[in-house]
Amino acid sequence: MTEPHDNSVKIEVVTRQFTIVVPLGQIEDTRAVPALIERLADEEDWDICDGVAKALVQIGEAAVPALTECLTDQNSDVRSAAAKALVQIGEAAVPALIECLTDQNSNVRRVAAQALGAIRDTRAVTALIERLTDQNSGVRRAAVEALGQIEDTRAVPALIERLADEDSGVLRVAVWALGAIKDTRAVTALIERLADEDSGVLRVAVWALGAIKDTRAVTALIERLADKDSNVRRVAVEALGRTKDTRAIPALIERLADKDSNVRHAAVEALGQIEDTRAVPALIERLADKDSNVRHAAVEALGQIEDTRAVPALIERLADANSDVRQLAAEALRNIGTPEARAAVHAWRKRSRYE
């Protein structure tokens, strides 16, 4: 005869024996919560903290009040484990986390904002917007990031205001958040950030404008193609490719000769996205680029544009030293589909069998 489970014994044992923690959590008995929380608060080993937190996740909503109290613990591992558990519990933890946004302890407010961002529940938007004016810059930054993760357009006006934040970290994350939300109301303010002296802010602003894909930004983005920072040039090229605005073609063609191979690679991809035949001669030249990644992208771009002028140069790439370039050249030639292109691919395949 099977003996009945003695949950009280298991709860007592958990304070001494870690291996029982997870099975205890799996029984989903709320009587386990005090003992698990006690173990979490007393434990200095991160792995054990994480294991206890997982057990509390199994218990679910009943563990939320105790876990939110753990957000004030002096041990950072305990705070992290509790926050992770609340995120995994998910929607049931949202009301308690929203309450934590007004806690007197700035660490609690910050961790609560981070958890709400990870859960991505729109119920938190109004409370997170209120935290954008928190006296603590860490809290403001966490609230901004959370709103970017939730991607609710109600936050856009308040996030635009944060572009004037005195803390550069908050400002940078606000730029990112506006790009993540992709609301065109942010375009004018983001264009203004393209003059920022902080290259980190500038780079994220360029990315954000590319994410929004509003053609009002094209002229300002073209100006960034001459930036001294190669990372800014690369991100500006990528942003222009996403807009697919043909006004960018001459400037993007110039970037095909950039000294930085990452910029050249991005320019090739951007021209392939726009698919304008004016770029074909310049893309053909990139088929001989010393960087195989650039050649790879050039072959792919020409295959997308499908201009017959590229056929002879693509046939030459069937003998490229890089196997990926050879394979892509064959695919590009098939896409273009002229008799000459098809014959070259057929002959290449036949040769490949014997090599």
User: Residue 264 is encoded by which pair of tokens?
Assistant: 């050249």
User: Residue 304 is encoded by which pair of tokens?
Assistant: 């997308």
Compute the chain's Rg from CA coordinates.
28
Residue 268: inside a domain, yes or no?
A: yes
Task: Work out the percent of the chain whose per-residue pLDDT is above 70.
Answer: 86
How many domains does the structure of the chain reveal? 1
pLDDT for 31: 66
For residue 306, which amino acid is it? E
- Confidence label for 351 from pLDDT (cuts 50, 70 and 90): confident
| CATH number of the domain where residue 253 is located | 1.25.10.10
pLDDT for 18: 41
- Confidence label for 1 from pLDDT (cuts 50, 70 and 90): very low
- Confidence label for 354 from pLDDT (cuts 50, 70 and 90): low
Could you tell me the residue range of the domain that residue 240 belongs to? 184-274
- How large is the average pLDDT for residues 149-159? 98
Q: What are phi and psi of 105, to 5 degrees?
A: -85, 120
Quick check: 208 and 235 in contact, CB under 8 A? Answer: no
Residue 347: inside a domain, yes or no?
A: no
Residue 270: inside a domain, yes or no?
A: yes
- The 10s digit of each residue's pLDDT in 89-105 is 899 999 999 999 999 99
Quick check: 314 and 321 in contact, CB under 8 A? Answer: no
Residue 259: inside a domain, yes or no?
A: yes
- The 10s digit of each residue's pLDDT in 230-239 is 999 999 999 9
Residue 292: inside a domain, yes or no?
A: no
- The 10s digit of each residue's pLDDT in 261-302 is 999 999 999 999 999 999 999 999 999 999 999 999 999 999
Give the length of the chain.
355
What global pTM score does this model have? 0.82
Which H/E stretch holds residue 26? helix 21-26
pLDDT for 67: 84
Nearest-angstrom CA–CA distance, 186 and 179:
8
CA atoms within 13 A on the CB side of 309: 10
Q: Give just the sign of the alpha carbon dihedral 81, 65, 149, 198.
A: negative
Average pLDDT along the chain: 88
Beta strand spans in 50-195 (E) = none
Residue 171: inside a domain, yes or no?
A: no
Residue 340: inside a domain, yes or no?
A: no
User: Residue 342 is encoded by which pair of tokens?
Assistant: 């098809």
User: Residue 3 is encoded by which pair of tokens?
Assistant: 């003996």
Tokens 């957000």 found at: 71
Interior angle at CA 164, CA 132 and CA 198, nearest 5: 120
pLDDT for 15: 41
Nearest-angstrom CA–CA distance, 257 and 238:
16
Residue 254: inside a domain, yes or no?
A: yes
- 178 pLDDT above the threshold of 90: yes
Quick check: 129 and 103 in contact, CB under 8 A? Answer: no
- 12 pLDDT above the threshold of 90: no
